[in-house]
Amino acid sequence: MVRVTRRGVLAAAAVLGGRVGGAAAQEQPLPPHERELYEAARREGELTWYTGQMQAEPSEAIGRAFTERFPGVKVNVVRSTSQVAFQRLSQDMRAGVAQCDVFSSVDQSHLAFLKRQGRLTQFRPHNLSGLIPAVREAGDPDGHFQVTYLAVYLLARHNRVPEAEAPRSWRDLLDPRWRGQIAVGHPGYSGAIGSLCVALRKLYGWDYFRALERNRPHIGRSAGDPVTVLNAGERTIGMGVPSPTILLSISRGNPLSLIYPTDGTLIVPAPSGIPRNAPHPNAAKLFLEFMASPAYGQATRPFFAESLRPEVPPPEGARPLDQVPLLAPTAQEVEAGIPEVKELWRDTFGV
């Protein structure tokens, strides 16, 4: 498993820097490999996509963009937190039922686990060649899954808190000044928060969280919950919030701002894979091709997703990733660590 190294991403970001104005990729005619798959996919007519990578709106938009590009193939978007999506897939498998065609999670360990169980289809989309190398290499070397989303998690503040006084790092959150001000998700419901816990535990040890509990953070469920809480004005600092969610909220006029923590912005390559017993395998493969294509980048950019291809510019309002420190736990660390941190979390925070 190749780590998404800081250097790798920085290199990618350097390539990105300066390249503005993505061409309207969907105007281009279908390349032959896509055309073949398309024929087969059209016969299947639809696919079901379990995803926890992005919110409902962007996920729906992706589904629509796909159908626009490949008319006649409908996408059933089933969006929930990654944990819940994985749960549903597990229930499917336990019941011997095949419903899911493509599974996308922010938690690499989900896909790693499925690969080990032999439950994933091996498929390497042609379009992978056009991805930023670091992103491409973060996928499974054996081709059982690929990275379709770069999840970025950082801090957010309500504009009530002036920039000068805001916390600048994860560590700063332990300051008693922020008592009763912080909101965060729950690793039992969100794979991203699970990854964050693993990364912070590696950095500071679990005592970090015990100290955090003294500040009585507001615990929700998904990683995006704090945005709601901040918008409501209930808390002022969001911890581990996905960048697209905040950027979207800001674009709508909500009084929020991003904070890139000095001890590292968490990035999580979020993979997608095709279950072996997918009922619509060709549509699924076509979908993976789509997710590695520029059209996908175009569709997701309005939702502030990080760009995976050099020709698609980064989202509006986001800082280029080569300019910030990063936290990037490996897939093994995440897989091994998440079950542990879930129990530790529950013991520490009581829920």
Partner 1 sequence: MRADSVTALPKPATPARAGGLLDRLRNIEPVSLLWVVLIAALLFLVAAPLIKLFTVSFQAQETGAFTLSNYATAYGRQRYLDALVNSLTLGLLSAVIAIVLAVPMAWAVSRTDMPGKGLTWGAVLGAFVVPPYLGAIGWILLAGPNSGFINQAWRALTGAEEPLVNVYSFPGLALVIALHSFPLVFILVKAALDLISSEMEDAANIMGAGPWTTMRRVTLPLAWPAILGGFILVFLETIALFGTPAIIGIPARINVVTTQLWQFFEYPVRVEVAAAYAMPLLLVTVGLIAVQKLILGRKGFVSQTGKGGERRMVKLGPFRWVLFAWCAGVGALAVVMPVLVLVQASFAKAWGRGLALDNFTLRNYALLLFEHEMALTSVWNTIWFSAAAATLAGAIALLVAYLVNRRLVPFGEVLGFLCMAPFVIPGIVMAIGFYAAYASPPLALYGTATLLILAFTARFLPIAYANSQAAVRALHPEMEEAARILGAGRLQSIARITAPLLKKSLLGGWLIVFIVASRELSAAVFLVGPRTRTMSVLLYDLSEAGNFEVLAAFGGILLAITLVLVAIGMKLAGRDFMLRRE
Pairing state of beta strands 145-158 and 102-104?
unpaired
Q: How far apart are CA 88 and CA 108, in angstroms?
A: 17
At 96, list the tokens. 């011997």
Q: What is the DSSP code string of 54-67?
A: S-HHHHHHHHHHHH
Fill in the per-residue mask, 29 to 48: x = in contact with partner 1 (CB under 8 A), - = not in contact: -------------------x
Closest to partner 1 by CB, 64 vs 126, is: 64
Closest to partner 1 by CB, 48 vs 293, is: 48
Q: Is 82 in the site for partner 1 (CB under 8 A)?
A: no
Q: Which of 8, 188, 269, 315 binds partner 1 (CB under 8 A)?
A: 188
Closest to partner 1 by CB, 220 vs 314, is: 220
Q: How far apart are CA 12 and CA 29, in angstroms?
A: 27
Q: Which of 157, 218, 280, 309 binds partner 1 (CB under 8 A)?
A: 218
Residue whose structure tokens are 């997608």: 272
Residues 6+ apart with CB under 8 A from 204: 170, 171
Q: Is 350 in the site for partner 1 (CB under 8 A)?
A: yes
Closest to partner 1 by CB, 36 vs 60, is: 60
Q: Are 253 and 92 in contact (CB under 8 A)?
A: no
Q: Is 55 in the site for partner 1 (CB under 8 A)?
A: yes
Interface positions, 232-271, toward partner 1 (CB under 8 A): 232-235, 245, 249, 252-256
Which residues are registered as beta bridge partners of 158?
Answer: 256
Nearest distance from C-beta of residue 181 to partner 1, angstroms: 9
SS3 34: helix
Q: Is 88 in the site for partner 1 (CB under 8 A)?
A: yes
Q: Which stretch binds partner 1 (CB under 8 A): 9-17, 52-60, 116-124, 288-296?
A: 52-60
What is the distance of C-alpha 85 from the center of its chain? 13
Pairing state of beta strands 237-242 and 145-158?
antiparallel
Closest to partner 1 by CB, 75 vs 199, is: 75
Q: Which stretch binds partner 1 (CB under 8 A): 164-172, 201-209, 231-239, 276-284?
A: 231-239
Contacts 24+ apart (CB under 8 A), 4-8: 4/134, 4/135, 4/137, 4/138, 4/267, 4/269, 4/328, 5/134, 5/328, 6/325, 6/326, 6/328, 8/133, 8/134, 8/137
Closest to partner 1 by CB, 39 vs 316, is: 316
Q: Which of 20, 21, 94, 164 binds partner 1 (CB under 8 A)?
A: 94
At 4, list the tokens. 């998404």
Q: How far apart are CA 2 and CA 271, in angstroms?
A: 13
Q: Which of 7, 31, 43, 57 binds partner 1 (CB under 8 A)?
A: 57
Q: Is 228 in the site for partner 1 (CB under 8 A)?
A: yes
Nearest distance from C-beta of residue 17 to partner 1, angstroms: 30
Q: Is 222 in the site for partner 1 (CB under 8 A)?
A: yes
- Please count the other Cβ atoms lying within 10 Å of the Cβ belonging to residue 98: 15
Q: 32, exposed or middle or buried, with CB in 10 Å at 0-12, 13-18, 19+? A: exposed
Q: Which of 21, 96, 141, 162 binds partner 1 (CB under 8 A)?
A: 96
Size of residue set near partner 1 by CB under 8 A = 62
Q: Which of 35, 39, 91, 325 binds partner 1 (CB under 8 A)?
A: 91
- Please count the other Cβ atoms lying within 10 Å of the Cβ belonging to residue 197: 25
Q: Is 348 in the site for partner 1 (CB under 8 A)?
A: no
User: For residue 257, what is the enclosing H or E element?
Assistant: strand 256-259
Q: Is 80 in the site for partner 1 (CB under 8 A)?
A: yes
Nearest distance from C-beta of residue 242 to partner 1, angstroms: 8
User: For residue 152, what is the enclosing H or E element?
Assistant: strand 145-158
Footprint of partner 1 on this chain (CB under 8 A)?
48, 50, 55-57, 60, 63-64, 75-81, 83-84, 86-88, 90-92, 94-97, 99-100, 180, 186, 188-189, 218-222, 224-235, 245, 249, 252-256, 346-347, 349-351
